[in-house]
Structure formats: C-alpha cells, structure tokens
Structure 1
C-alpha cells in the first residue's frame, strides 16, 4: 500500500456513489442528511448475517423488525415464537443468544445499546466481529470490521500469501491500519461492499476497482489466487432416524429439542441421536413404515443422512414424547431446514387429508 490516505478517500468516494441499498443500512446520502443508524437494527442485521447470505437475511430482517420494531418488543416475546421465525437462517444458537442479548439490553441498559466495542463485548452472543461492526456502523467508532469480504480485499491490496485461517491476525492488522478515524462506519460498509461486488472470489473486476492504483496483487498478477486457504479436512458423515407420525385428523407429532446443542430449542421430529449407528425406540407404538430415500443435510462440522419412518395413528392417540400439533397450526416453514426437508419427503408417503 503506497498511500493509505488516498486509498481511504477513494474507497469512500466509491461508496458514496455505489453503496448497496439494504433495509438495515443508513446510506451515505441519508448520513449526510443527519439520519443516524438505529443500533438495534444494526445489531439485529449483523447477527442475522453471520455465515448467512444477504439474500437469505433480507426478508427475515423485514419480518423481525415488523413484528418487533424495538429491542424491548423482541425481549418480551416468547422464545418459541422467535425460534420459529428464525427458522431457515441456521446456526440456531444465534437465535437463543439474540433473545438473551435483547433481554439484557432491555432490562439492564433500559433499551439502549452500549456505544463502545468493549462494552458491547459484555452482551450475550456478541463477539469481537459483531462488537466492532456495531460500534463502527451504529456509533461511528474507529473500529476495524473484518469479515470474509474484508479479508479478501486486504489480502489482495497487500499481496498477502499466508493461507487462511493462519493469516487472520495479519489481515486484521493491515485492515486496522487502513481504517480511518473519519466515517469509520461507512468505511467498514464500503470494504464489505467492495468485496461483495468488485473484489469477488472469482474474476475480480479489477478494471473498475477504486483501489486499483494501490493494489499490490494486481501488479503481481496474483489477485485471482488470493486469499490462500489451507486445505479443509473432510467432514464426517453421521446417520439418524426421524419419526413422522400423523393422526387421522391431520395433527402431526413434534417435539422441542433440548435447549443446548444443535438446533437447540427448535421444533422437530422425534428421532435418534445423530451418530455412526443410530438406535432409538419410536416415540409411540404404531405401524411404522420406512420411506424410500433419505434426507441429506450438511451442518458446519458434518454431513447428515437421515432415514425416515412414517405412521398414521388414530385421532385420539396421545404420547409422552412431544405433542401433536393440529394441521391448522402447523407451519412447515417454522421448522429448521433439515426438519423441513424431512417433512417434504415424509409427505409423499403419507395419505392426503
């Protein structure tokens, strides 16, 4: 990097002209007009966007803010309702921490988010990245925000060949040197926009990049090869069985998963543990039938192959495991993705109502 000040200025000029329009963002024109970001909405969007695409988050964010326009509204909601609305975003521990954080802010901070990175780190579910993002974007603190897009941009700007994840401290250090004291929130969003729209993983559009004059990887001809990444270890495959019971009146048997662990607190089909040799008794006595095929789903650390058993039971059937949900109240969209896949496959084997 030959001239940090010139790079900062060029990036902000580009952002002023090309900032992406997002429902949670206060754009540069609005900022100039004196509109300031709502920390609650910045926090909500940042939690939703962790390891999730902008496209997947957009509608969920709009629905959350329509249902719960203030942090106090979210804090007062029942856990099950929020978890159901979160379905589809994955990483469900985030939803549990979302509620914990909302309640701490509502009760202990009178509904006002702390305005520094260190204070934000004291809230449930807020780690270094999220704390820096909220401090910079919501409060214009000169904090350095480093996500995957930013790592890619700075690795190319400085032609850094150390592979990820080993390169993270080095990339964070150079990103920090690039962070201005003026408009740090806009700078953070500009870096993310640049990585998402121009400095893309494949075929970066170097010819229209505002930082072309400063990019060491462009000069070296290595931009398309960066950032380097260490080889990934193969994910193991786990097996499981899910039991889908439907009463003759259409009600389906669901249970709430334990609060801790994968999909904690979410509704799902009763089933086995997910391991190498799943064994478990069905949730009730019935004429269980194996469904042809299987559900396949990939989590962060493993692949899952889920066999399905279905049964139709009398309308007066009761169970001590989970509970029956009437068809009028059953929303497949409120299930986690893997459970929704299971319902889609099971539906093909159940008689129509």
Structure 2
C-alpha cells in the first residue's frame, strides 16, 4: 500500500468514525492543543477530559497560566499523576510569555525546546492546531505502524524508534494533516488496540503485514520486564489540639516535586526525637495506621502513616512560608498534593471530627 492510498484510507475512516467532539478539538488553538497533548501523555482520553475542562477554564491563555501560582496549577492537576507535566507546563508558559510574547511559536525546533515537549508532542501541537505537516509518533501510532509494517522489537529501542519515525514521515500527507493525525491516534486507541485489535474495522487491514501473518499480538515487541523495586517511607502526620495539621513542601524535583505532603521521617530514626530535632516540636505518638502502597511507573512506595500530637506552645518553632504550613481542612483544595497524601489528609480530618463528636 503506497503512502497516498494509506492516507486516503485513514482519512475516509476518520470522516466516518473518528472522534470530532473532544473539547480540545473545539477552537483548536496552539495553547489548547498544547495543554491537551501534555495531559494526554501516558493518560487516557476519558481521564483527561474533566481535568482539561477545569484547567483551560481557569487558565484560558498562556499568560494566565504563566502568571498563576504553581500551587494552584498543581492543585488542578492533583489526581492526574506525573506531576512533572504540570510543573513543565507552568515553566514553559513563563518562557513563552518572556521570550515569545505570550504566543506559541510555529517553528517546531522552538516548540520542542519547551520543557516537557518532545518531538512527537511538538509535531502533534503544530499538526492538530495549524495543519502544519509534522509526523507524530505517540504510543497509539507506534503500535499501529509496528503492526502495519511488522517492525520487530520494542519501540523504546533506538533502532526500532528510528524505523517507526521513517514510516510516520512517509505516510503523513500534505493535506488535511490535522484530521490525519487525529485519525491515526483514534485508530490506534479504538481499533488497533493493545490487547484486542478489531481488524475487521481497520481501513488498513488489507495492507497490514502483521494481520496477513495472523501475528497482530507479536507487534510491537514487549518492553523487557523487570520487577519494580519497593521503597518505604514514614509520613509523620503532625496535628495540634486545635486541628491544624503540618504540611511540608517537597523539593522541586523528584517524586511529587513541588507538591505539599507530610514530613517524612527516616525509617531508622525515632519519631519523637526526629520531630524534636528537625521540627522543634515535642510530640506524642498516636496509634499507628495501616500502611498503604502507591505504585509509580518505576517503583512501589510503601507509606506508613504515623499520627502524632504536638504541643501547641512549641508550634511556632515550625515557621510557615515556602517550606511548611499549618492548615485546617478548608485549606486543602487550594494546595497541590498527590492523591495518597490527600486521602490521608481526608482520613485524618474525618478522624479528628469524629473524635470531637464523641467528646462533645
């Protein structure tokens, strides 16, 4: 199947079956498409849609995003995961404001230079919003092309990726590029699915080498398996009798970078001594809670919550500001925090309210 026929079949399928009503397809500006493409990295459309709507309603332009407080950006991102994406969006918006007049450039090299934007994302931004002819190679398109051309090997390998980029460049048409790009993403997500590809509905089935050989599930090659390592931490949930709970901002890089969390005590340390030495707080340990496990893409994190009560008279030893904050439950929504932390906070707040109800 030559490139012209390939593109024609893809576009005919899109006209009949492609997705045309996603929120970022309505008024597809460079900014709106950029936000959607960052959110869609490693995240399914159905999950992204409500986050996207809230995000662009609050930050309708590059300038409003650039001028926003990072905490608010992270709080709107909470639950979507991969928080570096939110930090990169915020940082890139500042760059676009300061260096490009608050506008997204049309040069793919400049777009790709933005934090969090790789070659495929840059191509998708320009193709979907302006129709610029740029090949795109997201996860769905990698799978589709791997099967169509029976490209052996895992796409994370440099040689396999280079072959897929060559195919993507070859098949990208010169007209209706935005529709073609969306169609390829949709075909991969809806038809050429990872586990149950529905080849009966695929417009490319007659030219697909994997289908002809009845080997659809052999492509793309699997990522080499490795067991995820397990890390452990203790989160010290410090509260006062007046119900304020201590939160600490995490470092800007690393796990949950820039988000608010509970202070973490080394496993080998005595919690009471550690609170005195590091936080300047005299505390009494409460009954321990059950541990919980949170799984990242590259490791498991076992969290042991340690609730403690601090003496109110020494609470001022922990200075509020950039690093620490004492908050009550009505502050939670304005603070960016990871889902496990928010769940623990909610449980701790409920526990405090129930305790007060029992003692009234």
With structure 2 as the length reference, what TM-score do the two structures score?
Answer: 0.88
- The answer as to whether partners of 2:74 and 2:335 remain within 8 angstroms in 1 is no
- The answer as to whether partners of 1:157 and 1:214 remain within 8 angstroms in 2 is yes
Q: How is 1:10-89 mapped onto 2 (pairs within 5 angstroms)? A: 10-20=9-19, 21-26=21-26, 37-89=28-80
Deviation at 1:227, TM superposition (A): 1.2
The answer to whether the aligner puts 1:291 opposite 2:288 as a matched pair is yes
The answer to whether the aligner puts 1:142 opposite 2:133 as a matched pair is yes
State the distance in 1 between where 2:69 and 2:246 align.
Answer: 21
More helix by share: 2
Aligned to 2:330: 328
The answer to whether the aligner puts 1:309 opposite 2:300 as a matched pair is no
State the distance in 1 between where 2:268 and 2:175 align.
Answer: 57
Aligned to 1:181: 174
Unaligned residue ranges in structure 1 (runs of 5+): 27-35
Aligned mate of 2:232, from 218, 221, 239: 239
Instruction: Give the match's secondary structure for 1:264.
Output: coil
Deviation at 1:315, TM superposition (A): 5.6
Deviation at 1:290, TM superposition (A): 4.5
Deviation at 1:350, TM superposition (A): 4.7
- The answer as to whether partners of 1:295 and 1:342 remain within 8 angstroms in 2 is no
State the distance in 1 between where 2:59 and 2:246 align.
Answer: 29
State the distance in 1 between where 2:268 and 2:46 align.
Answer: 36
- The answer as to whether partners of 2:72 and 2:336 remain within 8 angstroms in 1 is no
Aligned to 2:3: 4
State the distance in 2 between where 1:37 and 1:70 align.
Answer: 13
Aligned mate of 1:220, from 213, 216, 224: 213
The answer to whether the aligner puts 1:263 opposite 2:245 as a matched pair is no
User: Which region of structure 1 is more displaced relative to structure 2, 261-270 or 320-329?
Assistant: 320-329
Aligned mate of 1:172, from 165, 173, 180: 165
Aligned to 1:33: none
Instruction: Give the match's secondary structure for 1:331.
Output: helix
Work out the number of aligned pairs and report it: 340
State the distance in 2 between where 1:331 and 1:67 align.
Answer: 14
- The answer as to whether partners of 1:295 and 1:341 remain within 8 angstroms in 2 is no
Aligned to 1:126: 117
State the distance in 1 between where 2:344 and 2:207 align.
Answer: 51
- The answer as to whether partners of 2:75 and 2:333 remain within 8 angstroms in 1 is no
State the distance in 2 between where 1:347 and 1:231 align.
Answer: 43
Deviations 1:312-352 (Å, cap 9, x if unpaired)? 34566334262211222223984212312433554576562
Deviation at 1:7, TM superposition (A): 1.5
Instruction: Give the match's secondary structure for 2:239.
Output: strand
| CA pair 306-55 structure 1, distance change in 2 beyond 3 A | same
The answer to whether the aligner puts 1:300 opposite 2:294 as a matched pair is no
State the distance in 2 between where 1:66 and 1:343 align.
Answer: 27
State the distance in 1 between where 2:129 and 2:77 align.
Answer: 23
User: Which region of structure 1 is more displaced relative to structure 2, 310-319 or 145-154?
Assistant: 310-319
Instruction: Give the match's secondary structure for 1:253.
Output: strand
| CA pair 215-229 structure 1, distance change in 2 beyond 3 A | same
